Structure 1
Amino acid sequence: MNGHFDLYVGIDYSGAETPESRLGGLQVYAARPGGRPEPVRPRPQGRWSRREVAQWLLATTHGGPRLLVGIDHGFSFPEEYFRRYRLDSWPAFLADFCRYWPTDQPGCAVEHVRRGTWWSSTPRPPGERTGATTALRLCERWTSSTKSVFRFDFQGSVAKSTHAGIPWLRYLREEGGDRIFFWPFDGWRPPEAKSVLAEVYPSIFRHRYPRDGRTPDEHDAYAVARWLEETDRNGMLDRYLDPPLTSPERRTAALEGWILGIA
């Protein structure tokens, strides 16, 4: 893929509270080509909700700059989950997941679904959608410190943010149409005209850059945006968009996803 993006966006996600809650842990930074990332905050509130972040991404990709967006939550689940629930594609996974974890619905928190209280006034689908806390995706087995998307309730867990964020990927996929490319589910080589959304893992990047007074959440979003911009500007992005996977591994990643920055 040749050419640069117009805007590089790092999002440090949060699965706390509800989709409407304004969260200090939900941070967005963006960088123009050749520039340093700057915070992006909604006015006048100054704090994002998950719904607002999704709406901002949708609006920004509509007739505007071409974005490269890194979001730090899991975009999918291990292949064994697909087999267990007879899901044959990522779009099928998204639709099925949102039935069981409707965490984009007004007032719905991850903990409401986990505890079963959400279903007290809403029809509950049959069965459940869970996974073992030891289950890892292939991309997670390629790293030394990532954790299972099913492992809740510990420091550094991505499970809650993943279960809160996946429905918003479906929203962006449905509402964004052809202008948003979900890497690598839509392929490994993004076309020139589309914005790209990818999963990232800020721990890979955060220690490369000084904190300069930023909070940990702010710095993670900053580090992602800065790494994306620098990697593209230095001509190294293609390497990370096309990791050295075998054909079977690529088929697995087409279901499980991949973490941009692992190659």
Structure 2
Amino acid sequence: MNFDLCIGVDYSGAKTPVTRSKTLQVYASHRGEEPSRVSSPSSSDKSSRNWCRREIACWLADQVNQGNRIIAGIDHGFSFPISYFERYGLESWPQFLADFVEYWPTDQDHVHVSEVRGHNNSFESKRTGTNKEFRLTERWSSSAKSVFQFDVQGSVAMSTHAGIPWLHQLKSELADRIHFWPFDGWDPPEDKSVIAEIYPSIFKNRYPRLDRTCDQQDAYSVAKWLSETSRSGFLNRYFNPPLNDKERTCAELEGWILGIS
């Protein structure tokens, strides 16, 4: 399975979707070449070349709209535990996305995840969970944390609550040109781009860090691993983790971290 671009995105849920941050990092490998850092395309001023979340979503859409077949691994949760779906009567991932952006409008320019959490129950009590709720894919990992576990080192809760609305936007904008794995099926068609949840800790120690920052190393290692496994023909194995029928049905709502098998 070959792609024009293999992209690693190290995400951050800090501040607003239009705030530039050095913790947002993007690396891309073009047709098997060594991954290189991709800077924000919006400015030639080096001091403002860090990304913001809105810009990353637009850039990913641009790559697909330009005719590139991409695979992008993004470092945040794409969905919530099955208990959340049952609690709020949600029956599909698209329904989950639409419902989430109603209660967590973290794609709006001046909305911060922490502000939504602090609205004296006007938001959080309607759509939330506890840090003891885990997805199946997290239980298969030795260190992945709950998507509801805020305010601890290594937590993805902020990134997840900031990033999910952009998945909704990309799905709406790109329609049938993009395959969100595994929600759209476990075997991506050969003619579609792919976006998948990733956990850089699985890969980052495989490759020398050199002079990259921690965030850069995370994005680099994802792009490198995606490039290597897709070109070697092994990526299809990771697209089909060894789940039984019940587990697979659950993961089709909760999502799965690509690379955990």
TM-score, length-normalised on structure 1?
Answer: 0.95
CA distance in 2, matches of 1:260, 1:225: 13
Task: Give the CA deviation at 1:193.
Answer: 1.0
Partner of 2:251: 253
Partner SS for 2:146: coil
Greater CA drift, 234-243 or 37-46: 37-46
CA distance in 2, matches of 1:34, 1:232: 9
For residues 64-213 of structure 1, what are the structure 2 equivalents within 5 Å? 64-116=67-119, 128-213=126-211
Q: Is the 8 A contact 1:202 1:224 kept in 2?
A: yes
CA distance in 1, matches of 2:49, 2:187: 35
2:63 matches 1:60: yes
CA distance in 1, matches of 2:212, 2:124: 45
* % same residue: 59
Unpaired runs of 5+ residues, structure 1, are none
RMSD: 1.4
Partner of 1:35: 33
Please give the per-residue CA displacement for 1:226-252, whole angstroms capped at 9, x wherever unaligned. Answer: 000001111110100011111111110
CA distance in 1, matches of 2:123, 2:149: 23
CA distance in 2, matches of 1:131, 1:262: 24
TM-score, length-normalised on structure 2?
Answer: 0.95
Unpaired runs of 5+ residues, structure 2, are none
* Structure 1 segments (4+ residues) deviating >2 Å: 124-127
Q: How many residues align?
A: 256
CA distance in 2, matches of 1:136, 1:185: 18
Q: Which amino acid aligns with 2:180?
A: F
CA distance in 2, matches of 1:143, 1:164: 23
Q: Is the 8 A contact 1:99 1:125 kept in 2?
A: no
Task: Give the CA deviation at 1:126.
Answer: 9.8
Task: Give the CA deviation at 1:171.
Answer: 0.3
Please give the per-residue CA displacement for 1:16-41, whole angstroms capped at 9, x wherever unaligned. Answer: 00010001100000001221100001
Change (3 A) 1:75 1:22: same
Q: Which amino acid aligns with 1:81?
A: Y
Q: Is the 8 A contact 1:31 1:229 kept in 2?
A: yes
Q: Is the 8 A contact 2:11 2:25 kept in 1?
A: yes
Q: Is the 8 A contact 1:10 1:224 kept in 2?
A: yes
